[in-house]
Amino acid sequence: MSSTPGLDQNQLLAALPSAELKRLLPALEWVALPLGEVVCEADAQLRHAYFPTTAILSLNHVLESGASAEVAGVGNEGMLGISLFMGGQTTPIRATVQTAGHAYRLPTRLLVEEFNRAGVMHGLLLRYTQALITQMAQTGVCNRHHSVSQQLSRWLLLTLDRMPTNDLVMTQELISCMLGVRREGVTEAAGKLKDMGAISYRRGHITVLQRSLLNREVCECYQVVKTEFARLLSGIKYRQPAAT
């Protein structure tokens, strides 16, 4: 298992006992996910579940007009494909790559089989699903009641939590699509954070300079999501990596 790249970088896979992981390991495929790739279209059935290691996926609800907004993000704390084991098979949500990187993918059949064994993965996936629902609900409240600068701060902090660096490859246009606001609103909010000394940006890149300033600007929605993920998943006992 030690030769498998990044296997322990995904928190759900890292929490599986060796026996359960051993059943899945031959079918786990390490794949590259380039920026902007559509992993799953709305109302399409996934052929694989995805467990990000360094990539971050954006779950977006797309309206008939073509307008869209992010309802949640998925990074190394979770997985894409809850509809596969919840019985719904599909969702009206499009999954795209927000941050390029890698993920492990697992064929649908094997994920469902492992879930139905009612072992450790069964409990992990149910707790993760509850945490994801909280993130979706809080995102909806935040987008309705809080300023764009607060929303942007929340989004930046959640993204940073999933990354080893403070440098984000991200355009303001893409952020405006994710937040569901006009690009001018993102420009104004980013300008405010820049003037505070919280971030710097150039074309296609945003660098967080002082996270403490983002923490000062962000609304309570960020902490609500963080607290719920910690409550549901912090008790997980992680498997020790195999010796090399």
Which CATH number characterizes residue 43's domain? 2.60.120.10
Residues 206-223 pLDDT 10s: 999 999 999 999 999 999
Residues of the chain scoring pLDDT < 70: 1-3, 235-244
Whether residues 128 and 173 fall in one domain:
no
Q: Which long-range contacts (CB under 8 A, 24 or more apart) does 86-94 make?
A: 86/129, 89/45, 90/43, 90/44, 90/45, 91/42, 91/43, 92/42, 92/43, 92/61, 92/62, 93/42, 93/59, 93/60, 93/61, 94/38, 94/40, 94/41, 94/42, 94/59, 94/60, 94/61, 94/62, 94/68
Whether residues 154 and 75 fall in one domain:
no
For the chain, the average pLDDT equals 88
Q: Which of 143, 158, 174 is the last residue of a domain?
A: 143
The pTM is what?
0.88
Whether residues 23 and 135 fall in one domain:
yes
Whether residues 116 and 162 fall in one domain:
no
Q: What is the pLDDT of residue 237?
A: 55
Q: What is the pLDDT of residue 235?
A: 56
Whether residues 133 and 151 fall in one domain:
no
Residues 133-185 pLDDT 10s: 999 999 999 988 999 999 999 999 999 999 888 988 877 777 887 787 888 88
Q: What is the pLDDT of residue 6?
A: 80
